[in-house]
Amino acid sequence: MISPIAIDLASVTQKRPPLGPELQIALNPIPAQTWYAIPSGALTFVNERAADYLGLPKDHPLRFGTVTGADWDSNIPLLHPDDREETRRIWSDCLRTGCAGEVSFRVHNAEGGYRWFLSRAEPVRAADGTLLYWIGVNLDIDERKQSEFYFAEGQRLAHTGSWAFIPAGFEYWSSELFQNPRTRSERQGADKGEYLGLVHPEDRAFVEQQIQEILATHRAFDFTKRIVRPHGQIRSVRWVGVPAI
């Protein structure tokens, strides 16, 4: 959803100078926070939506693209302290490689609070490949982040877990799925062997057979198996799922 906006802007403004008023006019009506930076990475302009969110004065240089001498990471102080290191790392990688990048972070607002944004930066190049500037767009994802938090908290309180499974193994499992120190954090890309290692030895053959049937028939399933928690604790867990088409 983000990339097409940035790419379209890049194609329209490819031959324009980074401080051109036409580019600022093009970015202001977009229903998202947009910005551009010079090749070094220094933030030079933010559109009206972003400037108003930040509470910038009406005569602030960022509103007019007249910022000069800024550092490549001059935008970092606008972010939540917990998000600054990761954002600096990703932005540094973009500048080093000249490739597009994406990161989620919280941005300080005029009221003193923070909201989550998904930020995408795209390089704009001349016909000969020379980097002209960076165009970025920040989409507000605060409500989605809040929903994810309450969903995770609900799982914790109800002692339920969620997951996504493909033939190669788990694409994802939540921290509540097994309540095991090895899987305490939400995981990506766990294989089937790691999962079966958490199942009670006497139930593994049965569970593996169920998995094969699930993958072969693409039908909903509902069965119970035992898992082994740290220190030898054994718990029965009901596994319910439906295919995602």
Do residues 131 and 182 share a domain?
no
Say what the pLDDT of residue 225 is: 83
Q: Which of 94, 122, 140 is the last residue of a domain?
A: 140
**Is 115 in contact with 80 (CB distance < 8 Å)?**
no
Do residues 153 and 234 share a domain?
yes
**What does the pLDDT look like over 55-72, one tens digit per residue?**
999 999 999 988 888 899
Contacts for 244 with CB less than 8 Å, ≥ 6 apart: 164
Do residues 197 and 228 share a domain?
yes
- What does pLDDT average to over the chain? 78
* SS3 category, 41: coil
Do residues 44 and 23 share a domain?
yes
Do residues 115 and 53 share a domain?
yes
Among 188-192, 229-233, 238-242, the least confident range = 188-192
Among 57-66, 118-127, 210-219, the least confident range = 210-219
Token pair recorded at residue 47: 């559109």
Nearest CA-CA partner of 74 in 64, 66, 84 = 84
What whole-number percentage of the chain has pLDDT above 70?
A: 73
- Residue 120 confidence class, pLDDT cut points 50, 70, 90: very high
Do residues 192 and 110 share a domain?
no
Task: Count structural domains, the chain.
Answer: 2
Among 16-20, 49-53, 157-161, the least confident range = 16-20
- Averaged pLDDT, 29-43: 91
- Averaged pLDDT, 86-107: 95
Say what the pLDDT of residue 163 is: 63
CATH number of the CATH domain containing 82: 3.30.450.20
Do residues 130 and 221 share a domain?
no
* Residue numbers of the domain that contains 29: 3-140
* SS3 category, 125: strand
β-partners of residue 163 are 173
Residue 156 or 219, more confident: 219
- Residue 193 confidence class, pLDDT cut points 50, 70, 90: confident
Do residues 227 and 200 share a domain?
yes
Residue 90 has pLDDT above 90, yes or no: yes
- Residue 8 confidence class, pLDDT cut points 50, 70, 90: very low
Cα dihedral value 45, 46, 51, 56, nearest 10: -20
Q: Which of 106, 140, 174 is the last residue of a domain?
A: 140
Q: Which of 104, 122, 140 is the last residue of a domain?
A: 140
Say what the pLDDT of residue 222 is: 83
CB atoms within 10 A of CB 148: 13
Do residues 54 and 76 share a domain?
yes
Do residues 115 and 9 share a domain?
yes
- Residue 245 confidence class, pLDDT cut points 50, 70, 90: low
